[in-house]
Amino acid sequence: MTSNDLKAIVTRFNREVIQEGNRESFEALMAPDFVNWSAPSEAQRGAEVMWKTFATVLRPAIGYLQVHIHEQLSDGDKVITRKTISGKHIGLLAGIKATNKDISIDVIDIVRIRDGRYFEHWGVNTLAAVADQLRQA
């Protein structure tokens, strides 16, 4: 696969899975042995936990959710993406009730692609800082 092919897979995941909540796309894009190395514990590293984070945490808490990809770099079988997840805080997020404030979570992801599917993930985000700001509002 070319660098552009790999970036297109990651872009599709961000649009169809995170932004639109499409379970079929999630299933199509995740390797059966996917590992999320950013998860807090070994028990939470699988694909299903990642789906539940999008479906039961982010999407219910952030209305009008949009993913804005600012930059993508590719190195071998990895794609590094700098992006922002934004929307309106309409539901429980990190223990904070809806404030109806606009929020933006900055994210840097590294995804390893194998056979056209997400195989490994590493990432950092500003969700904790956003939650702190919401608590102070």
pTM, 2 dp: 0.93
Q: Which of 81, 59, 64, 61 is nearest to 8 (CA)?
A: 81
Confidence of residue 127 (pLDDT cuts 50, 70, 90): very high
41: pLDDT strictly greater than 80: yes
Domain map (residue ranges) of the chain:
3-136
The pLDDT of residue 43 is 79
Please state, rounded to an integer, the average pLDDT across all residues of the chain.
Answer: 95
The pLDDT of residue 42 is 83
CATH, range 3-136:
3.10.450.50
Please list, in sequence order, all residues whose beta carbon lies within 8 angstroms of the beta carbon of residue 25, skipping any fewer than 6 positions away: 12, 13, 16, 17
DSSP state of 11: H
The pLDDT of residue 129 is 94
